[in-house]
Amino acid sequence: MSPLTVLITALSSLGSNKLRTGLALLGIVIGVAAVISTMAIGRGAQEVITSRIQSLGTNLLFVRPESTGQNTPSTLTLEDASALLDPVFSPSVAAVAPELSTFVRLVAGRENTFSQVVGVTPEYQFVRDYPVSSGQFISAVHVQNVSEVAVLGSQIAETLFGFRNPVGQNFRVNGRQFIVIGVLESKGGTSLGNLDNQVLVPITTVYYRLDSERMSTGDVTVQTINAQIRSLDEMDSSIQEIATVLRLRHRLSGDDDFTITSQQETIETLEETTQTFVIFLAAIAGISLLVGGIGIMNIMMVSVTERTREIGVRKAMGAKHRDILYQFVSEATLLSLGGGIVGAVLGVAVAMALDGRSLGGQTFQTGVSGDITLLAVTVAAVIGLFFGIYPAARAAALHPIDALRYE
Amino acid sequence: MAELQRARMLIDLQNVTKVYSMGEVDVAALNGVNLSIRDGELISIMGPSGSGKSTLMNVIGCLDVPTSGRYVLEEQEVGSLRDNRLAEIRNRKIGFVFQTYNLLPRLTALANVQLPMLYGNGNNAKERALDALDRVGLADRASHRPAELSGGQQQRVGIARALAKQPSLLLADEPTGNLDSGSSEEILTILKGLNRDEGITVIIVTHEADIASQTHRIISMRDGVVVNDKNVVADQGGSE
Ligand SMILES: Nc1ncnc2c1ncn2[C@@H]1O[C@H](COP(=O)(O)OP(=O)(O)O)[C@@H](O)[C@H]1O
Ligand SMILES: [Mg+2]
């Protein structure tokens, strides 16, 4: 039997029972569509995260106090941050932006909400790339005077003041009166949290007015020092320089009381996390593909039983073992291949339909990949082949007489 | 008749048995059959139900192999052949006509007739199939499905299917068992014509004496053995 006749025979017998063929297809269609759309969503999320973080600048290092235990005060201070600007000991550091944040209650008129306030210095605007859309950013004078001024993220500004211009308005932070001096440009939400909900105030104000835990030495402690380095190529030596300065200042001989991580590492960690998540989702989708394969096997078993007489007739007419085997295997493979193709179209359509839609404050971005699509369709076809072999072998092994006598 | 005596041996069965084991008990469907059939014969097999007629046809048709004994078909010992070789022999040499027609319901008459050619020489399959349909008088029904044909017409499609591959042997197991007498007569006429005009050896299993009487040789079976084997004296067209 030529491959073409095998194909035509398989197609015509699939076409003769359309309802059953459709039902058999369904499992594979859903499986393939699920694999493709989850992978597209996962890939899209990954791209969003990566590009967001990259937009913050990849030449950033984060210096954080080593958490030695709960309730231990932070070991990093504002002084430490300024010391990193020393042109002799740490020439590769271009700018530093220390930050200290805490959760507070915000009250503006009848609006009442909890939010994070981040204490910053003027450099924060450039190091973290937070341009203001109206008003001004926090200045050195504000930091020096422990001023009760705030720069609002676009979202929180709208929450608190609606359509009124927030600049110049008063609101209360933990009962203290603050004045809004500026509003940030919108950054959009990320899986890291909505950056547009941030409230920026002078770092000294957080320390002296809003934070409950203070160090006895009187130095202003910070949670993170964002250090911008001059060149990505000098990453390793920059880390060394910063570590040396801090060790000297902290008079350390043993373990460091701080950690330095790079933006790049953060991206990699996050990518790994999302990757794991995507693989997990795809595995679940893959299982549904497998279930689809078992569905095909089921249908093929029924089909073989139902067509026992046909098999007998074909054998009486001279069909060999392999002719019958190929016939049923090719039916199963065509079924799953067809299901795979329909599923791929469906999966891509779902991914494209989701692209740019927002759900629960998150905007979907999907990235359909040709590789994954091709892979899913191929896997579907192979699954059909695999699950088709057993029923086909049963059919091929039938004795012609028994098959002909079958009622 | 003299001509037939000189024709070469087509089938030779020596002490053939066929035993089916049904769990504990063995059923001997054939119990030592000796039979020789020459090329070009027109034979009927008669006997009560359960006497082994179908089993004998299956063995002759290479659908099954004997449990013991020797079966030689066209100088080839069949008993030792593997399934694929048997399939080839069925495809090239043997045409089956079934009591229940056994047409594939979703195929057209033409596609049904073409079926054996899928598994062997497929050259000019369509032309040969159309020609076979023409020979049974159904050229105009080529695109009909079995459900759209009468019983007699379906059986003619069945004969066309058996015929299209130009077999040397045509086996018909109660081909008129499901047909009225008019259709039966048509079928028998076609089978006789194939034997007379094309020299195809035809073996017909039948319960009807008037059908048997139109063949040249009547083999009677009982309990798995041949109990009577007689040539019919030419009463009508027996002499070529
Ligand atoms: N596949 C089989 N398995 C078991 N017994 C069978 C089988 N085929 C036929 N027989 C038995 O063999 C005997 C002969 O059957 P069969 O050749 O069909 O007779 P006939 O065609 O003359 O009516 C019967 O007793 C039948 O029950
Ligand atoms: Mg019978």
pLDDT digit string (tens) for B55-95?
999 999 999 999 999 999 999 999 889 999 999 999 999 99
Q: Any chain B CB within 8 A of the CB of A1?
A: yes
B140-188 pLDDT per residue, tens: 999 999 999 999 999 999 999 999 888 999 999 999 999 999 999 999 9
Distance of alpha carbon B204 from alpha carbon B47, whole angstroms: 12
Distance of alpha carbon A348 from alpha carbon B61, whole angstroms: 55
Residues with Cβ within 8 Å of A380's Cβ and at least 6 positions away in sequence, in order, are A28, A31, A32, A289, A292, A336, A337, A339, A340, A343
Reference B58, options B24, B21, B22, B13; nearest CA is B13
Which residues of chain B from 115 to 144 reach within 8 Å of chain A, CB to CB?
Answer: 115-116, 118-120, 122
In the predicted model, what is the mean pLDDT of chain A? 86
Atom of ligand 1 nearest to the CA of B58: 17
Distance of alpha carbon A180 from alpha carbon A201, whole angstroms: 9
Q: Which residue has the higher pLDDT, B121 or A316?
A: A316
Q: What per-residue confidence (pLDDT) applies to A359?
A: 66
Q: What per-residue confidence (pLDDT) applies to A212?
A: 65
Chain A partners of B104 at a C-beta cutoff of 8 Å?
310, 313
* Probe target for ligand 1 pocket from B19, B20, B45, with the most ligand atoms within 8 Å of CB: B20
Q: What per-residue confidence (pLDDT) applies to A356?
A: 80
- Answer yes or no: do A404 and B63 touch at CB < 8 A: yes
CA A131 to ligand 1 centroid distance, Å:
94
Say which of B64, B91, B107 has its CB closest to residue A317: B91
Which residues of chain B from 197 to 226 reach within 8 Å of chain A, CB to CB?
Answer: none
Do residues A90 and A258 lie in contact, with contact meaning Cβ atoms separated by under 8 Å? Answer: no
CA A175 to ligand 2 centroid distance, Å:
102
Q: Residue A117 corresponds to which amino acid?
A: V
Q: Any chain A CB within 8 A of the CB of B106?
A: yes
Q: Any chain B CB within 8 A of the CB of A359?
A: no
* Probe target for ligand 1 pocket from B27, B56, B205, with the most ligand atoms within 8 Å of CB: B27
Distance of alpha carbon B217 from alpha carbon B230, whole angstroms: 6
Q: Where are the alpha helices (DSSP H) in A223-262?
A: 235-250
- Answer yes or no: do A317 and B104 touch at CB < 8 A: no
Is the pLDDT score of A191 beyond 50? Answer: no
The pLDDT confidence band at residue A308, using thresholds 50, 70 and 90, is very high
The pLDDT confidence band at residue B239, using thresholds 50, 70 and 90, is very low
Is the pLDDT score of A282 beyond 90? Answer: no
Q: What per-residue confidence (pLDDT) applies to A57?
A: 65
For the segment A130-139, the average pLDDT, to the nearest whole number, is 91
> Mutate which of A317, A405, A406, A407 to disrupt the B interface (most B C-beta within 10 Å)?
A317
- Count CB neighbours of A145 within 10 A: 13
CA B48 to ligand 2 centroid distance, Å:
9
Residue with tokens 């029923």: A391
For the segment A370-379, the average pLDDT, to the nearest whole number, is 88
* Probe target for ligand 1 pocket from B17, B18, B22, B54, with the most ligand atoms within 8 Å of CB: B54
Q: Any chain B CB within 8 A of the CB of A404?
A: yes
Chain A partners of B92 at a C-beta cutoff of 8 Å?
318
User: In sequence order, what are the beta bridge partners of A113?
Assistant: A106
Q: What per-residue confidence (pLDDT) applies to A2?
A: 78
The pLDDT confidence band at residue A249, using thresholds 50, 70 and 90, is confident
For the segment A338-364, the average pLDDT, to the nearest whole number, is 84
- Answer yes or no: do A16 and B83 touch at CB < 8 A: no
A54-103 pLDDT per residue, tens: 766 668 888 988 865 555 556 788 888 888 888 888 888 889 999 998 88
Least confident span in A188-202, A305-319, A386-400: A188-202
Domains, chain B, ordered by start: 39-64+87-231 (3.40.50.300)
> Mutate which of B60, B63, B92 to disrupt the A interface (most A C-beta within 10 Å)?
B63
Which protein residue's CA is at the shortest distance from atom 18 of ligand 1?
A: B54
B178-227 pLDDT per residue, tens: 999 999 999 999 999 999 999 999 999 999 999 999 999 999 999 999 99
Phi, psi dihedrals of residue A245, rounded to the nearest 5°: -55, -45
For the segment A160-167, the average pLDDT, to the nearest whole number, is 89
Distance of alpha carbon B152 from alpha carbon B97, whole angstroms: 12
Is the pLDDT score of B99 beyond 60? Answer: yes
Distance of alpha carbon B115 from alpha carbon A317, whole angstroms: 7
For the segment A170-191, the average pLDDT, to the nearest whole number, is 84
The DSSP annotation for A319-347 comes to --HHHHHHHHHHHHHHHHHHHHHHHHHHH
Residues with Cβ within 8 Å of A286's Cβ and at least 6 positions away in sequence, in order, are A31, A35, A379
Q: Which residue has the higher pLDDT, B98 or A254?
A: B98
C-beta of B177 in contact with ligand 1 (< 6 A): no
Which protein residue's CA is at the shortest distance from atom 4 of ligand 1?
A: B20
Chain A partners of B161 at a C-beta cutoff of 8 Å?
317
Q: How far is B93 from chain A (nearest CA, A)?
A: 10
Distance of alpha carbon A203 from alpha carbon A116, whole angstroms: 13
The pLDDT confidence band at residue A372, using thresholds 50, 70 and 90, is confident
Is the pLDDT score of A142 beyond 90? Answer: yes
Q: Any chain B CB within 8 A of the CB of A16?
A: yes
Is the pLDDT score of A163 beyond 80? Answer: yes
C-beta of B120 in contact with ligand 1 (< 6 A): no
Q: Classify residue A120 as exposed, middle or buried by CB count within 10 Å of its CB (0-12, 13-18, 19+).
A: buried
Which residues of chain B from 24 to 63 reach within 8 Å of chain A, CB to CB?
Answer: 58, 61, 63
Chain A partners of B88 at a C-beta cutoff of 8 Å?
318, 320
Angle, CA B43 vertex, CA B38 and CA B45 arms, to 5°: 125
C-beta of B25 in contact with ligand 1 (< 6 A): no
Q: What per-residue confidence (pLDDT) applies to B15?
A: 96
Which protein residue's CA is at the shortest distance from atom 3 of ligand 1?
A: B20
Reference B12, options B43, B37, B33, B47; nearest CA is B37
C-beta of B123 in contact with ligand 1 (< 6 A): no
Query: A253: helix, coil or strand?
Result: coil
Do residues B105 and B147 lie in contact, with contact meaning Cβ atoms separated by under 8 Å? Answer: yes
Do residues B175 and B191 lie in contact, with contact meaning Cβ atoms separated by under 8 Å? Answer: yes
Q: Any chain A CB within 8 A of the CB of B92?
A: yes
Q: Which residue has the higher pLDDT, A47 or B201?
A: B201
CA A398 to ligand 2 centroid distance, Å:
20
Q: What percentage of chain A exceeds 90 in pLDDT? A: 34
For the segment A266-285, the average pLDDT, to the nearest whole number, is 82
Say which of B104, B119, B122 has its CB closest to residue A319: B119
B14-48 pLDDT per residue, tens: 999 999 988 889 999 999 999 999 999 999 999 99
Q: Any chain A CB within 8 A of the CB of B7?
A: no
CA B206 to ligand 2 centroid distance, Å:
9
Which protein residue's CA is at the shortest distance from atom 2 of ligand 1?
A: B20
Q: What per-residue confidence (pLDDT) applies to A67?
A: 63
Q: Which residue has the higher pLDDT, A113 or B5?
A: A113
Do residues A166 and A183 lie in contact, with contact meaning Cβ atoms separated by under 8 Å? Answer: yes
